[in-house]
Structure 1
Amino acid sequence: MRDTPPLILLAAGGTGGHVFPAEALARELLGRGARVALVTDSRGTRFSQELIVPVHRVKACPLGKGLFRKAFSIAVMGIGVAQAMLLIRRQKPSAVVGFGGYPSVPLLYAAARSGVPIILHEQNAVLGRANRTMAPMAKALCLAFPHVAGIPPLTDTKIVQTGNPVRPAFAAFRATPYPLLDEDGAIRILVLGGSLGASVFSAVVPKALAMMSEALRHRIIVAQQCRAADLEETRAAYAGVGVIAEVSPFFTDVPERMAGAHLVIGRAGGGAIAELAAVGRPSILVPFPHGHAGEQKANAEALAGAGGAWLIPEEVFSPEALAVRLESLFSIPGTLIKTATAARGWGTIAATDNLADCVYDAMGLPTPKSLAGLTSNPDASGKEGNLALSTREFYS
């Protein structure tokens, strides 16, 4: 009888930037015969419906400001650590992989206390607070960007350059050529606002299109992700300037839309950068200006510095500035094609494999070959199990 396959817990914050890379790694680990479970907060469960793996929730909250809020945060995180210790005792994982975000901290700390190997993955060009806190306890610190700021002293020997895992749906379009852009054809713009949408794009993009020449404006077709609260106003704004636009709070087919776009306008999260590079599409990046360490600005600078994007800080992202940029780009299509090629060349398409290899190295196990197509946990015989998605909360 074969040994029970290793169980690997993936700890991720509840936004798509943390959970989507965890999903990509989960698919690869399942394909290699491992068992996988996701540990996140209540937000993260909505991103994990495509995989049939257990989802566990433990208590966590960000560190608040002020004495009372800090004390409350510490108390909640303490409960989370106790829950995570119980989870580890019950599940007996072989490794824990952290993808950042405060919900990952209780499980990572409990794993360190329990002697379970920790592997961290940083999706951004600036090390996040959760990963920076846990880096001294980790066995490996896997990076998506060639240069990452904020790495603690004495952790250099733990660094592994893996790249940022992207979901297979994006990787599948890597070989798709840049869409033909002729003189009279449609110009497709995809506007993405991050996992929560972004009001700035609804305020700026329709007005910018109104300032463009009529000949160009009437060729433009927009697909925009926007906040639900801005939905009707944004639709009316596009209709008012005569632009065909599909506006929705969430698109389920972003990979296909990205592959068909001539230009993407959006935020600069680490996951978004990796997806743009995987598909190979030019973008105008407007970094979220309120990140704790300017990580989105650093992300955008990395891709723009490689010639794969254009960076416009939000404080100067005006309708006038965007209109001038769009007129220039669509008047000289060769620039868009060149930028698309540079974006594709910047990405690390083997990132998921690299990260999975690192996990097996940390466990001290030989690296098995992947069996594509598994989306649920195998049983002890190595066959795919029939395990329904479950969400469990552990309380002390």
Structure 2
Amino acid sequence: MKLRPEGPVVIAAGGTGGHLFPGQALAQELRRRGRHIVLITDERVQRFDTLFPGADIFSVPSATPNDRGLVGLAKSAPAILSGIAQAFGILGRVEPSVVIGFGGYPTLPPLAAAILRRIPTCVHEQNAVLGRVNRLVAPYVHAIASTFAGPKFMRPRDAGKLVVTGNPVRDAVMAHAGAPYAAPDAGARINLLVFGGSQGARVMSDVVPGALARLPEALRARLDVVQQARPEDIDRVRNLYSEAGIHAELQSFFDDMPARIAAAHLVIGRSGASTVSELSVIGRPSILVPLPHSLDNDQKANAEKLQAAGAGLMIEQKYFTEETLAERLSGFFADATTLASAARAALSQGAPNAVRRLADLVEALGRGEFHAVHNAAPLADDIGPSGPLLFAQGGC
């Protein structure tokens, strides 16, 4: 297919917020540059018109294998093949300059169709582990953008395509990037934010209220808890906090989560890619509980990166008990300097310019410029550890 540098950018994204939010961030940046956006996703297309305003949105079939064996792949094959055929036709009509996928099985049909049409194609990996779809298409795409310098399962033969951009965050997050952090003084109010992903998490409702109830009364009286909980858990959790004398605001969904993170002294949550990136860009300490059954333990790998940097603490779910959490919280709240140090460490891991870097890469691919290298030294205006992108003329 002939290169059309002025053509639209096709974003393939779907599934969880960890895949959607970076795609949304890229769309926001590219629209500022005057680019037209096309989104290809799965059957949940009705959710995305507010996330991608002004974009042309197409839905194509896809499927996630129910198991990791050949049987699961065979059962999902008809939907995936149908999706590839439909995406092939859509790309022929749209004539994009480049296609970028953000991982997950909903992106497989449009990526496969783009590869078949010889359209410049790249993927973005948000996690410290290269996802299954990204791993599958890695030999055939032109660039692999990544949050981390050495994602697990990256094959040596594909390493030359790797460009460390960081994980793009939405404009709503960038509005709070590097927000000043003031650890709570002795006797001051403590803002604690608790959430478990876009739909909350049962384990947070089961463990956190009981853990806070174990804290000394004087400490409980200082707490202002904001917690996301599933609708069926809210009344139970509210009663537990009331009995413990803890002030708490509970909702099943917060549409201003970046502002809530910025207002928090400490965050307790899962360690999906978007959560980890938003904590780092804003700069907030955290206690992270990785989803125990995530594919390839990607959430655990993400949490380990922040813990190793001193930005917080990882507790595996099997050890996430009221007793353990109460002990860890007591340690955090006993010394404000510990919280302040963790906040600084989190900020040092952020990449607020990731969306610009990724947009630069996407546009360079669309112009037929082959990506070259990334450097370890950060840009002067960048907080994060990834370095400047360099591009060299060359065919895709």
Give me the whole-angstrom Cα distance separating, in 1, the residues matched to 2:34 and 2:165.
21
Pick the aligned partner of 2:118 from 115, 120, 135: 115
Give the letter for the 1:272 counterpart. T
Equivalent position of 1:360 in the other structure: 363
Give me the whole-angstrom Cα distance separating, in 2, the residues matched to 1:231 and 1:43.
26
SS in 2 for 1:175: coil
Q: How much has 1:39 moved relative to structure 2?
A: 1.4
Task: Please give the per-residue CA displacement for 1:13-56, whole angstroms capped at 9, x wherever unaligned.
Answer: 22110000000000111111111021122446425514312221
Q: How much has 1:72 moved relative to structure 2?
A: 2.8
Quick one: percent identity of the two aligned structures? Answer: 44
Give me the whole-angstrom Cα distance separating, in 2, the residues matched to 1:97 and 1:27.
14
Q: How much has 1:70 moved relative to structure 2?
A: 3.6
Equivalent position of 1:205 in the other structure: 208
Equivalent position of 1:93 in the other structure: 96
Is the Cα contact below 8 Å between 1:20 and 1:47 reproduced in 2? no
Equivalent position of 2:63 in the other structure: 61
Matched positions, count? 364
- Between stretches 80-89 and 49-58, larger displacement belongs to 49-58
SS in 2 for 1:103: helix
Equivalent position of 2:23 in the other structure: 22
Equivalent position of 1:175 in the other structure: 178
SS in 2 for 1:14: coil
SS in 1 for 2:351: coil
Equivalent position of 2:292 in the other structure: 289
Give me the whole-angstrom Cα distance separating, in 1, the residues matched to 2:9 and 2:220.
51
Say if 2:312 is the partner of 1:309.
yes
Pick closer, same or farther for the CA change 1:45–1:302 going to 2, 3 Å: farther
Pick closer, same or farther for the CA change 1:47–1:217 going to 2, 3 Å: farther
1:244-393 alignment runs, 5 A limit: 244-364=247-367
| Structure 1: runs of 5 or more not aligned | 367-396
Pick the aligned partner of 2:164 from 161, 164, 185: 161
Give me the whole-angstrom Cα distance separating, in 1, the residues matched to 2:322 and 2:348.
30
Q: How much has 1:71 moved relative to structure 2?
A: 2.8
Give me the whole-angstrom Cα distance separating, in 2, the residues matched to 1:138 and 1:120.
7
Give me the whole-angstrom Cα distance separating, in 2, the residues matched to 1:170 and 1:78.
37
Q: How much has 1:365 moved relative to structure 2?
A: 6.0
Give me the whole-angstrom Cα distance separating, in 2, the residues matched to 1:12 and 1:262.
32
Is the Cα contact below 8 Å between 1:100 and 1:121 reproduced in 2? yes
Is the Cα contact below 8 Å between 1:117 and 1:363 reproduced in 2? yes
SS in 1 for 2:37: strand
Give the letter for the 1:343 counterpart. A
Structure 1 stretches of 4+ with a deviation exceeding 4 A read 66-69
Say if 2:13 is the partner of 1:8.
no
Is the Cα contact below 8 Å between 2:43 and 2:61 reproduced in 1? no
Give me the whole-angstrom Cα distance separating, in 1, the residues matched to 2:213 and 2:196.
20
Give me the whole-angstrom Cα distance separating, in 2, the residues matched to 1:179 and 1:88.
50
| Structure 2: runs of 5 or more not aligned | 370-396
Say if 2:93 is the partner of 1:77.
no
SS in 2 for 1:147: coil
1:36-51 alignment runs, 5 A limit: 36-43=37-44, 45-51=46-52
Structure 1 length-normalised TM: 0.88
Say if 2:175 is the partner of 1:192.
no
Pick closer, same or farther for the CA change 1:249–1:182 going to 2, 3 Å: same
